[in-house]
C-alpha cells in the first residue's frame, strides 16, 4: 500500500528556473543596471508583500521607482509587468508529473507567488497535471510560516501524514516537517529526486 497519496511541489527552482539575474539580463546587458534592478525589484520588501498578497502591483511600482534613478524607470516598469515571460520550465518534470498522475497521486502546488501567477500559469506545461494550486498571495500567508501549511492542508483536506513535499528552500522543508509533512530538499538534481522517490516507494 502507498504511504503517500498527495505529492506537493514548490514552483520556483523546482518546476521552473527562477533567477532574477537571468531575468533582468534579458532586458539589459549593462552590469550595473542589472545589479541595481535585481536589488530594487526582487530583493526588497515589495516583492515579499506581492507574494503575501498585501500590496498591489501599482503600489509596488511606485515604491520601487522612488528608489531608482529616473533613467531606469521605464526598464523597471517593463520588468515588473512582464518578468514572468522570461521564466524557463525545467524539462524533466512534465513527464514525471504525468507518470505520477497516472499512478493515482493527488498533485498539489504550494508556491510563494503573487497574484500575477494567474497570468503565467498556463505557460508552464507541468502545471496541467496538478489537481490544486495554492499560492501565498491568495492565502495571505507564505512559506515557511507554519500557518501556510496548516491553512492549505485544511482547505484541501490534506492529511499531513499522507503527504510528501518537495521544495528548494531548506527553511520551507524544515517548517513542513515540523508541521508533520515528510519533505525533500530539492537541490536541482533531478536524478537524486527520482532515486529518493524510488527509495520511499512513491514509484
59-71 residue pLDDT tens? 999 999 999 999 9
- For the stretch 77-108, pLDDT in tens is 999 999 999 999 999 999 999 999 999 999 99
6-17+88-199 folds as: Rossmann fold (3.40.50)
- The fraction of the chain above a pLDDT of 90, given in percent, is 98
Cα–Cα–Cα angle for 151, 178, 153, rounded to 5 degrees: 20
Roughly how many angstroms between the first and final C-alpha of the chain, as a whole number? 12
The three grid cell numbers given for residue 112, joined into one nine-digit string = 510563494
Which H helix or E strand runs over 66? helix 57-67
- For the stretch 110-133, pLDDT in tens is 999 999 999 999 999 999 999 999
Res. 200: pLDDT tops 90: yes
CA pair distance 140, 126, nearest whole angstrom? 25
Three-state DSSP state, 163 = strand
Can you give the pLDDT at residue 100? 97
Say if strands 132-135 and 106-111 run parallel, antiparallel, or are unpaired: parallel
Res. 195: pLDDT tops 90: yes
Cβ-based neighbour number of residue 136 at 10 Å: 24
The ranges assigned to domains in the chain are 6-17+88-199, 20-86
Res. 76: pLDDT tops 90: yes
- Give the list of residues 6+ apart from residue 79 with CB closer than 8 angstroms, or none: 23, 24, 27, 37, 41
Whether the predicted model's global pTM rises above the 0.85 cut: yes
Three-state DSSP state, 184 = strand
Outline where DSSP puts E strands in 23-148.
Answer: 88-89, 106-111, 132-135
- The closest alpha carbon to 2, from 101, 153, 104, belongs to 104
Amino acid at each position: 500500500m502507498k504511504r503517500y497519496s498527495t505529492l506537493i511541489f514548490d514552483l520556483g527552482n523546482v518546476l521552473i528556473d527562477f533567477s532574477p539575474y537571468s531575468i533582468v539580463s534579458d532586458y539589459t546587458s549593462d552590469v550595473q543596471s542589472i545589479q541595481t534592478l535585481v536589488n530594487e525589484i526582487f530583493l526588497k520588501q515589495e516583492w515579499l508583500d506581492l507574494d503575501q498578497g498585501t500590496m498591489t502591483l501599482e503600489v509596488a511600482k511606485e515604491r520601487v521607482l522612488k528608489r531608482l534613478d529616473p533613467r531606469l524607470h521605464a526598464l523597471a516598469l517593463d520588468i515588473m509587468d512582464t518578468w514572468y515571460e522570461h521564466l524557463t520550465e525545467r524539462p524533466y518534470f512534465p513527464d514525471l508529473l504525468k507518470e505520477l498522475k497516472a499512478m493515482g497521486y493527488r498533485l498539489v502546488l504550494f508556491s510563494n507567488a503573487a497574484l500575477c501567477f494567474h497570468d503565467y500559469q498556463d505557460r508552464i506545461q507541468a502545471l496541467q497535471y496538478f489537481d490544486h494550486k495554492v499560492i501565498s498571495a491568495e492565502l495571505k500567508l507564505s512559506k515557511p510560516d507554519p500557518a501556510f501549511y496548516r491553512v492549505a492542508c485544511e482547505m484541501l483536506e490534506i492529511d499531513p501524514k499522507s503527504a510528501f513535499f518537495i521544495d528548494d528552500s531548506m527553511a520551507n522543508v524544515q517548517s513542513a516537517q515540523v508541521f508533520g509533512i515528510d519533505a525533500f530538499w530539492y537541490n536541482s538534481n533531478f536524478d537524486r529526486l527520482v532515486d529518493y522517490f524510488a527509495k520511499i516507494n512513491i514509484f
